[in-house]
């Protein structure tokens, strides 16, 4: 292989491979990129991250300080890059689900839902009603789990360690339910183009109802532990200030935008999966700071509990995958003592009774179904804001392009506006109130 360099871009070398041209992009040296400006003797440049307990994984902040005041804040990302978007181009449409679920790994079911709804829009099909209701059910469970992690890490970074231990304790209740329903605690690949991988297992509805009895008291306990605590209030109030004008200018969505007073929630303003038929409120605050974002997330947990109860009440018998055999894969799943697999009746049919069915099953699993050429953009309301999927098909069995508008990536733009001019201690509160997940940024 030969390596060539584009004279217009010395930092992007390329080489030809059997898969086409591959680019290798490199950054500049520290002195060239960040150290060229002249400063006085009082200037101190601090690297916070990428291995820092308060940077939510591998976020790096380059902070210019004068004393303890932040004069400049720069965000450096890319340390967790996985190439998930590109990888989807080398797998069939159904296999793409197991990639996208790993982007924002704290809300995997939202990645799956957004991707699958985009594929379904290209196909011109709609998941069965029962599948749509179960999607709402598991997504709202996932929202609660995600907000509990936000609360737990918030507490850890502010020094409220009991808030951290309690947050992860309650999250285990949700993860137990998701494991019972999908087979996995996270990265589920449960939502598939056309419906779901399988129906709710026996006993799941009863266990979810038991959770609904327990969780409201646990939320109330958080308010007793933290909300009225003077130190907690002092650390959060007026930290990371960003008003609604700044949010809109930078595309910030989710609890950060709602804490600035704008009740923008895609479940209400651009409903999907029948959200317009559910009775719930959009919590807001008018403080524009970390304190308001904490209150909004706590309130959203209670609203999700209301939605889950309504979803359980409207569950009706029916299929969880489209009837079209050219799309429905995996087909006729059953859950047996050996784990998840095709039902014995289906295996007998394709292995011993119908050569055509066996050939179809083989092609569907290995090659996948074809999706009509076109492009769509499907946004949904994830725990962190607008999660949008721009999916392009060239008419083949694999995506031509999958691009994700991840809320963590967009919301991190607000870091400088929230931090500059404030104290370095408040940078921790500001980042925690954004609740970024770097798997979504570096996708």
Question: Can you give the length of the chain in residues?
Answer: 443
SS (H, E, C) 317-361: CCCCECCCCCCCCCCCEEEECCEEEECHHHHHHHHHHCHHHHHHH
CA distances from 410 to 153, 191, 248, 384, 387 (A): 20, 25, 11, 10, 10
What residues pair up with 21 in beta bridges, in sequence order?
A: 16
Confidence (pLDDT) at 337: 47
- My answer on whether 206 and 292 are in the same domain is yes
**Under 8 Å between Cβ of 334 and 321:** no
Residue at 119 is within a domain: no
Residue at 100 is within a domain: no
- My answer on whether 303 and 337 are in the same domain is no
Residue at 8 is within a domain: yes
> At 98, phi and psi to the nearest 5?
-75, -15
Confidence (pLDDT) at 33: 53
Residue with tokens 């029948």: 274
Residue at 413 is within a domain: yes
- My answer on whether 349 and 231 are in the same domain is no
pLDDT in tens, the chain (443 residues): 444 445 455 556 777 887 777 767 665 555 555 555 555 567 788 888 777 776 777 888 888 888 888 888 888 888 887 889 889 889 888 888 889 999 888 999 999 999 999 999 998 989 899 999 999 999 999 999 999 999 998 888 888 888 889 899 999 999 999 998 888 888 888 898 888 888 888 889 999 999 999 999 999 988 888 888 888 888 888 888 889 998 899 899 999 999 998 899 999 999 999 999 999 999 999 998 899 999 999 999 999 999 999 999 999 888 888 887 777 765 555 554 445 556 666 666 666 666 777 777 777 777 778 889 999 999 999 999 999 999 999 988 889 999 999 999 999 988 888 888 888 888 888 888 888 888 888 88
- My answer on whether 221 and 312 are in the same domain is yes
Residue with tokens 């399988």: 198
- My answer on whether 69 and 9 are in the same domain is yes
Confidence (pLDDT) at 1: 45
- My answer on whether 350 and 301 are in the same domain is no
Residue at 374 is within a domain: no
- My answer on whether 362 and 229 are in the same domain is no
- My answer on whether 15 and 139 are in the same domain is no
135-152 burial: b if 16+ Cβ within 10 Å, else e? bbbbbbbbbbbbbbbbbb
Confidence (pLDDT) at 2: 45
- My answer on whether 179 and 143 are in the same domain is yes
Residue at 169 is within a domain: yes
CA distances from 345 to 76, 106, 342, 355, 357 (A): 54, 37, 8, 15, 13
Distance, CA of 134 to CA of 195 (rounded, Å) = 10
Residue at 117 is within a domain: no
- My answer on whether 171 and 208 are in the same domain is yes
Residue at 381 is within a domain: no
321-334 burial: b if 16+ Cβ within 10 Å, else e? bbeeeebbbbbebe
- My answer on whether 204 and 56 are in the same domain is no
- My answer on whether 295 and 337 are in the same domain is no
Domain of 343, in residue numbers? 333-366
Confidence (pLDDT) at 16: 82
**Under 8 Å between Cβ of 413 and 398:** no
Distance, CA of 51 to CA of 389 (rounded, Å) = 30
Confidence (pLDDT) at 319: 84
Q: Specify the number of domains making up the chain.
A: 3
Instruction: Give the CATH number of the domain where residue 280 resides.
Output: 1.10.645.10
């Amino acid at each position: 292989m030969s390596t060539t360099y584009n004279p217009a871009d010395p930092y992007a070398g390329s080489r030809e491979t059997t898969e086409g041209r591959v680019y290798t992009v490199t950054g500049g040296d520290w002195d060239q990129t960040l150290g060229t400006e002249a400063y006085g003797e009082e200037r101190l440049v601090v690297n916070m991250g990428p291995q820092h307990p308060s940077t939510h994984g591998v976020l790096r902040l380059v902070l210019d300080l004068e004393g303890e005041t932040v004069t400049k804040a720069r965000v450096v990302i890319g340390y967790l890059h996985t190439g998930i978007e590109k990888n989807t181009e080398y797998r069939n449409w159904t296999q793409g689900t197991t990639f996208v679920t790993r982007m924002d790994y704290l809300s995997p079911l939202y990645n799956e839902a957004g991707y699958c709804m985009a594929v379904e829009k290209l196909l011109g099909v709609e998941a069965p009603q029962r599948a749509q209701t179960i999607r709402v059910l598991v997504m709202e469970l996932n929202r609660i789990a995600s907000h509990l992690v936000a609360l737990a890490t918030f507490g850890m970074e502010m020094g409220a360690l009991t808030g951290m231990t309690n947050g992860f304790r309650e999250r285990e209740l949700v993860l137990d339910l998701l494991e019972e329903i999908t087979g996995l605690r996270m990265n589920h690949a449960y939502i598939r183009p056309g419906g779901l991988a399988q129906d709710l297992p026996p006993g799941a509805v009863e266990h979810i109802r038991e959770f609904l009895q327990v969780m409201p008291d646990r939320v109330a306990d958080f308010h007793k532990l933290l909300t009225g605590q003077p130190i907690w209030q002092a650390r959060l109030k007026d930290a990371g200030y960003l008003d609604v004008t700044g949010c809109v200018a930078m595309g910030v969505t989710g609890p950060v935008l709602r804490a600035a007073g704008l009740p923008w929630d895609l479940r209400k303003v651009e409903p999907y999966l029948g959200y317009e038929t559910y009775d719930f409120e959009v919590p807001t605050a008018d403080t524009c700071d970390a304190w308001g974002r904490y209150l909004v997330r706590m309130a959203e947990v209670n609203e999700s509990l209301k939605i889950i109860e309504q979803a359980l009440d409207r569950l009706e018998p029916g299929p969880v995958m489209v009837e079209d055999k050219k799309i429905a894969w995996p087909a006729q799943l059953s859950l047996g003592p050996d784990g998840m697999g095709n039902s014995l009746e289906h295996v007998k049919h394709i292995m011993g009774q119908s050569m055509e069915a066996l050939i179809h099953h083989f092609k569907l699993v290995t090659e996948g179904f074809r999706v009509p050429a076109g492009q769509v953009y499907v946004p949904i309301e994830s725990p962190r804001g607008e999660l949008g999927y721009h999916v392009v098909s060239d008419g083949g069995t694999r995506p031509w392009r999958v691009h994700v508008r991840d809320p963590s990536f967009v919301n991190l733009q607000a870091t400088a506006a929230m931090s500059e001019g404030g104290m370095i201690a408040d940078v921790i509160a500001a980042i925690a109130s954004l609740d970024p997940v770097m798997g979504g940024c570096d996708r």
